[in-house]
Amino acid sequence: MDSFENKLKRLTSFGSWEIIGKDDKTHFTACDGPHGLRYVLHEENGYQTDEPSYAYPTLSFLGNTWDIHLVKQIGKAIGEDCRKHHVSMILGPGVNIKRTPLCGRNFEYFSEDPYLAGMMGKAYIEGVQEKGIGACLKHFAANNREYDRFFQSSEVDERTLKEIYLKPFEIALQASPWAVMCAYNPVNGILSSENEYLLKHVLRKEFSYDGLIISDWGSVRDRAKSLKAGIDIAFPYNDQFLEQLKKGLSCAYITNQEIENSIAHIDDFVDKASQVNQENLENSFDHLKLCEQAVEEGIVLLKNNGVLPIQNTQQKVLLVGEFLNDPPISGGGSSKVTPLEKPKDLLSCLKKDHLKNEIEYVQAYMMRYGLPTPFGYKIALEKASSSDVVIVGVGNMMLEEKEETDRETIQLKPVFVDLIKKLSLYNSNVVVVLYCGSAVDVSDFVDDVASIVLAGYGGQEVNVGLSKVLLGLTSPSGRLAESWPMKLEDTFTNKQVGNSFVEHYDDHIFVGYRYYTSNFIKTRYPFGYGLSYIKTQYNRLSIQEENGIYHIFVEVENKSSMKGKEVVQLYVKDVTSSVSRPIRELKRFAKITLEPFETKTVELLIEKKDFTFYHPSLHRWYLEDGDFEIQICKDAETVIFSQKITICEDYYSQYSRF
Ligand code: GLC
């Protein structure tokens, strides 16, 4: 086979997962992610069996930690898992924006906010690549719903693309991922895999990305057209691709130079992958312990009337529901990792954590064909009437939150709501534990129960970490990275359940909390919200400007005798903008640990580019004169401090307004 023919062959994967090296014999394997290594052992008729591996908390769960150091550690652990299996690249992280709570893959994404999502994605990539393994940033771009994802075009204006849907990629690219994966969907009418504007103009030129660009699996319709747009390798192998490339060459639609450019990107990947250290493949730290620590960091306490933590050993505790025994730890699809160990049941975790209370478990429902069906509610209710605290586990099934489909509702299954409401008739201390990957409407029961704990899709150690929080061994410090609306009807996209060839992004930049706050729609639980067992007090805010850099100092005090963590959130409000802008936008955050009664001052730095917007007429980022507010918030709806600053730019850099 001549070398040119071999080059053409390298523009497509070998089989489903392999990148062909410089010689025909050396291949480099890519595997899913992003919630752990999904190493496919066998695939037949679309079914894949994969090797068990650490099932880390999902990206939606990690988003709720607001802890980029932790996310980087997870990346390192996954890098070590890949190295052990001689896998060169993990297919993650996904940084797509959660535009609607209905999106079936929200559990695979960090946030509705581009800055938080981008910073998390950047940390994940840094961690993985520190281990000599490649990360693959995905899905580029505007893949915000699963409905008809191969064909439904995301119709997005330029400013919205730049400020919201491309921004997390722009931030995460600072970590130089070895690869970027294009999305399935068309963007403004052109397939992402054939979209020269996205791949060449934005990714290559504007974002200066010089790594490998790969297709999503099966997203290439014509290999010559995708090559011309910038796809270096098409996955998986398709026996038509070689002919399509030759045909494109024969009519000079594609050029040798374009082929050489892609080969250069592939060779660059191969060079990096070849340098991985294959000695000493032992884990450098305890990955299982990290899974548990991550759970403790990401659990969000949504409601608590004081029933938690359980510290009165005289209280009789009842555990209700199969999910407490066998929790869902992820949604469905390509990111679903087979855990190394079955997730531990909550009862044994509580006992291991030296719970001294009298405690009992009752199944109440069983999972049949992936759906819950009552299995002795009456028994559960009788036991609840004679217990002091009832902990009931409910949530979303893999049939509801999975790749390729969207949810049709954000309600829990009626079977679960019925159980919760009945239990609360028999016991005034019901604690609801939610295992899910995206927002849930809790209005049916929120006023009837004592506490609601979001355990999320927390990976194989979810109940180990949950036990620590329930017993007060850890104060919960998770904060929502996605708004939870009162009801689906409050969302902008509710009126737009995916049902046409085009999804119109008519909400523009007003996504998530940007939409709710700017339209004065109260949410059930806002972006950035989460309760704690400690009481913190924000004492003061001070701002010093030096050479265009704003040093923001925030003093936070722990008023409790318990150690805890706080997420300091900094938003910017443009008071006098000449275009419509959200009421506030997250620009910095920091998660800090506070010892009992400790006071800490956090310094956050922002610069002038953090005040810019993407100008729809100038087609570039633009810093506009005027007044701004630096806001320190408890969450996107609760401002603690606000301080005005005024920006004055060179007169001729501004457009006349008054
Ligand atoms: C899937 C997903 C992508 C995944 C790839 C390989 O369809 O969209 O995220 O990495 O195919 O499984």
Quick: pLDDT tens for 286-307: 999 999 999 999 999 999 999 9
Whether the predicted pLDDT of 277 surpasses 90:
no
pLDDT value, residue 279: 86
Question: How far, rounded to the nearest angstrom, does the alpha carbon of residue 318 sit from its chain's CA centroid?
Answer: 33
Whether the predicted pLDDT of 76 surpasses 90:
yes
> Which residue's C-alpha comes closest to atom 5 of ligand 1?
217
pLDDT value, residue 103: 96
Sorting pLDDT into bands at 50, 70 and 90, what band is 496? low
CA 216–ligand 1 middle distance (angstroms):
6
> Which residue's C-alpha comes closest to atom 11 of ligand 1?
217
Phi-psi region of 417 (alpha: psi -120 to 50; beta: other; left: phi over 0): alpha
The dihedrals phi and psi of 114, each to the nearest 5 degrees, come to: -65, -35
pLDDT value, residue 70: 98
Q: How far is CA 125 from CA 33, 35, 71, 77, 620, in A?
A: 12, 13, 9, 12, 27
Residue 239 neighbours by CB under 8 Å, 6+ apart: none
> Which residue's C-alpha comes closest to atom 8 of ligand 1?
216
**Class of residue 252 by CB neighbours under 10 A (exposed 0-12, middle 13-18, buried 19+):** exposed
CA 556–ligand 1 middle distance (angstroms):
42
> Which residue's C-alpha comes closest to atom 3 of ligand 1?
216
The dihedrals phi and psi of 266, each to the nearest 5 degrees, come to: -70, -45
Whether the predicted pLDDT of 45 surpasses 80:
yes
Q: In this predicted model, what pLDDT tens digit does every residue of 618-656 receive, in sequence order?
A: 999 999 999 999 999 999 999 999 999 999 999 999 999
Helix (H, G, I), strand (E, B) or coil at 530: coil
Q: How far is CA 395 from CA 16, 20, 84, 421, 424, in A?
A: 33, 42, 34, 15, 17
Helix (H, G, I), strand (E, B) or coil at 124: helix
User: Which atom of ligand 1 is found nearest the CA of 92?
Assistant: 10
Q: In this predicted model, what pLDDT tens digit does every residue of 357-402 receive, in sequence order?
A: 999 999 999 999 999 999 999 999 999 999 999 999 999 999 999 9
Give the pLDDT mean for 82-105.
Answer: 97
Whether the predicted pLDDT of 608 surpasses 80:
yes
CA 145–ligand 1 middle distance (angstroms):
14
Specify the residue for token string 């393994």. Answer: 133
Which member of 67, 216, 345, 574 is catalytic? Answer: 216
CA 299–ligand 1 middle distance (angstroms):
27
Beta strand residue intervals within 476-520, DSSP E:
502-504
Distance in angstroms (rounded) separating the CA atoms of residues 476 and 534: 9
Q: Which amino acid is at 608?
A: K
pLDDT value, residue 382: 98
Q: Are 513 and 112 a contacting pair, CB within 8 Å?
A: yes
Give the pLDDT mean for 55-80.
Answer: 98
pTM greater than 0.75 (yes/no): yes
Q: In this predicted model, what pLDDT tens digit does every residue of 108-162 receive, in sequence order?
A: 999 999 999 999 999 999 999 999 999 999 999 999 999 999 999 999 999 999 9
Give the bridge partners for 29, in sequence order: 18
CA 101–ligand 1 middle distance (angstroms):
20
Q: In this predicted model, what pLDDT tens digit does every residue of 545-568 receive, in sequence order?
A: 999 999 999 999 999 999 999 999
Distance in angstroms (rounded) separating the CA atoms of residues 407 and 101: 8
Helices 114-129, 68-84: axis angle to 10 degrees equals 40
CA 102–ligand 1 middle distance (angstroms):
19
Give the pLDDT mean for 238-258.
Answer: 98
Distance in angstroms (rounded) separating the CA atoms of residues 102 and 145: 8
Distance in angstroms (rounded) separating the CA atoms of residues 582 and 633: 15
pLDDT value, residue 2: 54
User: Which atom of ligand 1 is found nearest the CA of 183?
Assistant: 8
What is the best residue among 49, 216, 335 to mutate for testing ligand 1's pocket, by most ligand atoms within 8 Å of CB? 216
Q: In this predicted model, what pLDDT tens digit does every residue of 517-546 receive, in sequence order?
A: 999 999 999 999 999 999 999 999 999 999
Edge-to-edge strands, sheet with 502-504: 190-191, 186-187, 153-155, 502-504
Q: What does the mean pLDDT of the chain come to?
A: 96
3-state helix, strand, coil in the chain (%, to 5): 30, 25, 45
H, E, C per residue of 554-595 = EEEEECCCCCEEEEEEEEEEECCCCCCCCCCEEEEEEEEEEC
What is the best residue among 334, 403, 404, 405 to mutate for testing ligand 1's pocket, by most ligand atoms within 8 Å of CB? 334
User: Which atom of ligand 1 is found nearest the CA of 139?
Assistant: 9
Q: Are 13 and 236 a contacting pair, CB within 8 Å?
A: yes
Distance in angstroms (rounded) separating the CA atoms of residues 176 and 64: 24
Pocket of ligand 1 (CB under 6 A): 32, 91, 138, 216-217, 334
Sorting pLDDT into bands at 50, 70 and 90, what band is 495? low
pLDDT value, residue 173: 99
> Which residue's C-alpha comes closest to atom 6 of ligand 1?
217
| Torsion sign, CA atoms 554, 559, 561, 564 | negative
Residue 50 a catalytic site member: no
Whether the predicted pLDDT of 610 surpasses 60:
yes
Beta strand residue intervals within 455-563, DSSP E:
502-504, 536-546, 549-558
Whether the predicted pLDDT of 500 surpasses 80:
no
Specify the residue for token string 């729609």. Answer: 521
User: Which atom of ligand 1 is found nearest the CA of 334?
Assistant: 12
